[in-house]
Amino acid sequence: MPRADFQVVVGLEVHAQLLTRAKLFSSASTDFGQAPNTQTTPVCLGMPGALPVLNEKVVELAIRTGLALGCTVNQRSEWSRKHYFYPDSPKAYQITQWDFPICEWGEVSFEVDGRLKRARLRRIHIEEDAGKSVHDAADGLTLIDLNRAGTPLLELVSEPDLRSADEAIEYLKALREILVAIGVNDGNLEEGSFRCDANVSVMRHGSTTLGTRCELKNLNSFRFIKQAIEIEAERHVELIERGGVVEQQTRLFDPDRGETRAMRSKEDAHDYRYFPEPDLPPLLVSAETIEAVRRSLPELPRAKRQRYVEQLKLPPYDAQVLTADARLARLFDACVLQFPDAKKVSNWFQGELSRLLNSSGRGADQVKFTPAQFGALLRAVDDGTISNSTAKDVFAQVFETGKDPLAIVAEQGLAQSTDLGELERVVDEVLAANQKNVLGYRGGNLKLLGFFVGQVMKAMKGKGNPNPKTVNELLVKKLG
């Protein structure tokens, strides 16, 4: 099996749309799904005399991203023009950052098969998105929609540090998780707001020289990315095994046929004729701004998971589930402040809360109860005021109405009885009426305890709500 002799090498370029209301260089809205060419200004349309004016919000989001990924944020970066003729590029150039990007040298860490790995990020730069060409809209016409033209993008370029398709996928998932958690991107691959091109090559195991790479495009789901990388690596291996040479190319992934096809080779690659954008001054960012953004950064998912396991002593599985949704993790942190037994809170979050969120279709940031109410409810269970099953009913009401749980307990008479005299009388009655089972229990059939508990609880109906724990203890004592 020759495949085993080869090592796959992958580098990824991610384009992430930034969550801003206005475009990168114009006041036009970034709203999707609007009528074609309505979200435009003369700047988006490349009209004569129109000049770009930087949306400062974009810079903040780029710095946020750079800091979250451990990059150096350059206090001076520059804008460049990248030239190409295409109808959805209205100026015939894209404003991007070339020689001097805003962020450099960070890393993304991710887990593969339970092992922690890192890939270096070479650079993050800001650039504008193109419009859309709608082919064969009617009568073989191509129509242009420039609503998307000028939408702010971050391009995040990794080093070729990934060694399998699975690593590439985990890298992307970890990167996406961070971008979503810090509020810069919505992470949607299908709608193209998180896009990826993959540079794939192979080399023999033990080699230190990278093979010739091919750039894969049209990868709009994790499944396709994985497929495309594997198929492309296989193609390289077969070529080399047959004595061929891999040509540097840009290739298109065809998911229907399960193959990659050459789009263009190195020779006819675009000459983008970069030069510094004369319509924009260099982008200067003060050290104070960078520090202010740093202070505003939320705890990142990986750090959060680590804290949950190490400090809160949660099982890794719990940490994973709780941090999968940043809103859920925020609520969890607030609730743990009110009720410090993190494992109990975690159980409630994974059980009742998750069930109620699912059935109501609400997000964890839209719940009606306060963390203080949640804490009070768990304390009531803990001190025996209500039983666990009562607490679930109460919580459902709290979730629905936002009413105080202790008020519900009081109004509906749900507090557990502590009249031990009455309870002891009922226990004696039950034991007297079931002598055969008493003998059975004493003879070793300990499972019968459940039967006695059931009988006692039944007999106590209407006479207060005994705490099952107390009933248990009393029965064991009497039967012993």
Closest to 59 (Cα-Cα) out of 125, 1, 145, 2: 125
Q: How far is the CB of 126 from another protein (least distance, A)?
A: 15
Instruction: Please list the residues that pair with 124 across neighbouring strands.
Output: 103, 156
Distance of CA 78 to the CA centre of its chain: 31
Q: How far is the CB of 52 from another protein (least distance, A)?
A: 7
Tokens of 371: 């963390």
Q: How far is the CB of 233 from another protein (least distance, A)?
A: 29
Closest to 108 (Cα-Cα) out of 176, 164, 196: 176
CB-nearer residue toward another protein: 248 or 347: 248
CB-nearer residue toward another protein: 141 or 432: 141
- Gap between the Cα atoms of 335 and 332, Å rounded: 5
Q: How far is the CB of 263 from another protein (least distance, A)?
A: 16
Closest to 343 (Cα-Cα) out of 373, 317, 304: 317
In total, the chain counts a number of residues equal to 480
Q: How far is the CB of 23 from another protein (least distance, A)?
A: 15
CB-nearer residue toward another protein: 42 or 468: 42
- Draw the binding track, 145-184, toward another protein (x: CB under 8 A; -: no contact): ----------------------------------------
- Draw the binding track, 242-271, toward another protein (x: CB under 8 A; -: no contact): -----------------------------x
Among the listed residues 2, 278, 361, 444, the single contact to another protein using CB under 8 A: 278
The position carrying tokens 């750079």 is: 66
CB-nearer residue toward another protein: 58 or 474: 58
CB-nearer residue toward another protein: 78 or 230: 78
- With b for 16 or more beta-carbon neighbours within 10 A and e for fewer, the 244-254 pattern comes to eebeebbbbbe
Residue 161 one-letter amino acid? D
- With b for 16 or more beta-carbon neighbours within 10 A and e for fewer, the 158-183 pattern comes to bebbbebbebbbbbbebbbbbbbbbe
Tokens of 473: 């203890």
Query: What residues from 80 to 109 belong to the interface with another protein (CB under 8 A)?
Result: 81, 83, 85, 87, 90-93
Q: How far is the CB of 40 from another protein (least distance, A)?
A: 10
Among the listed residues 19, 144, 290, 459, the single contact to another protein using CB under 8 A: 144
Query: What residues from 27 to 66 belong to the interface with another protein (CB under 8 A)?
Result: 42, 45-54
**Angle of helix 448-460 relative to helix 435-442, nearest 10 degrees?**
140
Binding segment (CB under 8 A) for another protein, from list 2-10, 121-129, 272-280, 444-452: 272-280
Tokens of 199: 């540079």
| Eight-state DSSP code of residue 350 | I
CB-nearer residue toward another protein: 88 or 159: 88
- Gap between the Cα atoms of 368 and 273, Å rounded: 56
Among the listed residues 247, 279, 310, 400, the single contact to another protein using CB under 8 A: 279
Binding site for another protein (CB under 8 A): 42, 45-54, 81, 83, 85, 87, 90-93, 142, 144, 271, 273-275, 278-281
